Each structure stands twice: as C-alpha cells, then as structure tokens.
C-alpha cells in the first residue's frame, strides 16, 4: 500500500501533502521518503494511527545514511515488529522456559543438596519433552529477504531454509510497550544455536542472542543481491519501468552500492545525475502518479497551503 492510498491517518497525509506543495526545494526528499516508506511498508490498518505517524521519522532520519542503517532502523522499529508479528515470535519458548523454571523451583527447594543439578535436570526434561511445540513466526524473515533486501526475480537464489533460519535468528526481537514504544530483546524467546543461510555467498552466524540478528542484517544489507534489488527499485520508481533498457544504469548503481558499503547519497547521485534520468524518452515514458499530478497542478496554479 502506498503512502497516499487507502484509509490513512489524516495527519500523516496532511504533513506530506503540505511539504510537497509548499517546499519545492524539498520535493526530492519527499519523493525519497515516499519511496522508502513503500519499500519498508507497514499498514495503518494493522498498527494504528499513532504508530504510523511515528514511523515516518524512522524512514526520514535514516534515508540519507547507509542502507544498513536504514534497514536496521526499520528492523528495530515497533511498527515493523508489530506489523509482521515478529514481536511474539518465540513466545511459546519463553512460556515453556518459565513453566520449566517454576516446576524446577517446586521440585528443587532452596537448601536441598545438589540443587543446581536438580534444576538443570528438571528444566531440561520439560523443555525437551515440549520442543516440538516451539514455533517461530516467519512473516518478517520472509519480507526481509524477499522484499527488503534480496528481492525476487531472475538471478536471485535463496531457499525456504534461509527464511526459516532467519526467523530463528530474529526470534526474541520484540517490543517494549509504553509511552514511548521501543525495541526489546527477549532472551527466553530466542531460538539458540548456530545458524546457516545457504545463499550465495553462504552466511554463517554463530549463536549469540540479539547479536545474531544484528549480524544477519549486516550480511543482508551488504549482499550483492540486495545491491541489485535496491538499484532496480530506484530506477523503476524514478527513471523507467523498462529495466532491460536501464541495465547499464542499474549496473553502475549496483557497483556504487557495493563499493561504498551501501551509502545511499552516493547511490542517489549516480541515479539523478545519469543521462538516463535526464533523457526525454524516460521522462515521457514514466507514468505520473495521481498524487504527484495534483501537486504539479497546484504549483502551476500558484496554490498556497497554510502550514498550520
């Protein structure tokens, strides 16, 4: 869902509309914000008005840095964790551990001989007996790979196992609910153990709690498939949907992405200074979205908008 389609929070729409109409000097920044909002999409219907409004700064405050920084900001955001339901991934494991610890304390009272060994034996027995009940949510892991980083299409190779491994890596990534909702890692909800993603090149991540997820994001953010996917999407949005004709530009952008560590301003410079972007053929072939058409019309008519 785009930023200006569907049943959206009025204040969000007004904020972006006013910015687009009043400040031509910042119109490119608005366009980039809208692009990244669509790339790291969340739904108003799923997360509500307050969180949607708070999500916009997550995008805008990081879209002029590295892609890894932007990806990490969205991955840690309550909005993304709630929208794709990763916040409760591994909850059954956490509940099972709490149950096992309570039972161990009952069977192994304070003061008994070899209490530590008793607790270890009881908790291990309970957890092993219920391991088959432990599941993780794959929604975010799948979107992280298929949409946010690698993408889908010819030349993109990954397997269901990579999604499953990523879901385990990200188990325990949750939300600290409060006045200022924020990221929270829940160790008991995390699936422990080393993980491997059989992609090219292969990604191996050693067991390490929250750091597993941080390592995964770094690998995915700097992967060649991600560089290609982001370049494709930027070209499709700002230049032309004929990606075959745009292949030379896409290759230049991909090389820039990889050589700069995913520095987004460097990527923007290659895109917006390219002969393809300034080509008359590209300009005429690019469909104008309804909202952008309205903005152009308002500017041409000299319409002013009260920022209040």
| Per-residue pLDDT, 63 | 98
Looking at residue 281, its pLDDT comes to: 77
Mean pLDDT of the chain: 86
Q: Residue 186: CB partners within 8 Å, gap ≥ 6?
A: 90, 94, 172, 174
Residues 131-150 have pLDDT tens digits of 667 789 999 999 999 999 99
pTM, entire model: 0.84
Q: What per-residue confidence (pLDDT) applies to 15?
A: 60
Domain residue ranges in the chain: 9-76, 91-133, 137-209, 224-296
Angle at which helices 264-272 and 247-259 cross, to 10° = 160
- Is the CB of residue 183 less than 8 Å from the CB of residue 176? yes
Q: Judge whether 157 and 76 are in contact, CB under 8 Å.
A: no
Query: Quick one: how far is CA 236 from the chain centroid?
Result: 20
- Which portions of the chain are predicted below pLDDT 50? 1-6
Long-range contacts of the stretch 246-249 (C-beta < 8 A, 24+): 246/276, 248/276, 249/274, 249/276, 249/277
């Amino acid at each position: 869902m785009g930023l200006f389609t569907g049943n959206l929070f009025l204040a969000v729409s007004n904020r972006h509309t006013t910015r687009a109409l009043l400040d031509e000097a910042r119109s490119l920044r608005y366009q980039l914000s809208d692009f990244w909002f669509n790339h790291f999409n969340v739904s108003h219907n799923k997360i509500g008005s307050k969180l949607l409004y708070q999500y916009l700064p997550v995008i805008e405050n990081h879209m002029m840095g590295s892609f890894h920084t932007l990806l990490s900001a969205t991955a840690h955001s309550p909005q993304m964790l709630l929208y794709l339901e990763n916040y409760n991934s591994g909850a059954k494991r956490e509940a099972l551990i709490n149950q096992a610890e309570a039972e161990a304390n009952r069977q192994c009272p304070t003061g008994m001989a070899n209490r530590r060994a008793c607790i270890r034996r009881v908790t291990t027995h309970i957890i092993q007996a219920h391991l088959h009940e432990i599941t993780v949510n794959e929604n975010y892991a799948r979107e992280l790979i298929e949409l946010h980083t690698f993408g889908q299409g010819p030349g993109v190779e990954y397997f269901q196992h990579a999604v499953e491994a990523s879901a385990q890596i990200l188990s325990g990534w949750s939300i600290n609910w409060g006045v200022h909702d924020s990221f929270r890692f829940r160790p008991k909800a995390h699936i422990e153990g080393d993980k491997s993603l059989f992609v090219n090149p292969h990604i191996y991540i050693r067991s390490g709690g929250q750091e597993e997820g941080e390592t995964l994001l770094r690998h995915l953010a700097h992967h060649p498939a991600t560089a290609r996917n982001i370049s494709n999407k930027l070209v499709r949005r700002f230049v032309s949907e004929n990606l075959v004709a745009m292949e030379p530009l896409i290759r230049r952008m991909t090389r820039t992405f990889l050589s700069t560590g995913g520095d987004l301003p460097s990527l923007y410079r290659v895109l917006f200074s390219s002969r393809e972007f300034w080509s008359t053929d590209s300009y005429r072939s690019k469909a104008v979205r309804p909202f952008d058409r309205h903005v152009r019309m308002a500017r041409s008519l000299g319409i002013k908008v009260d920022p209040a």
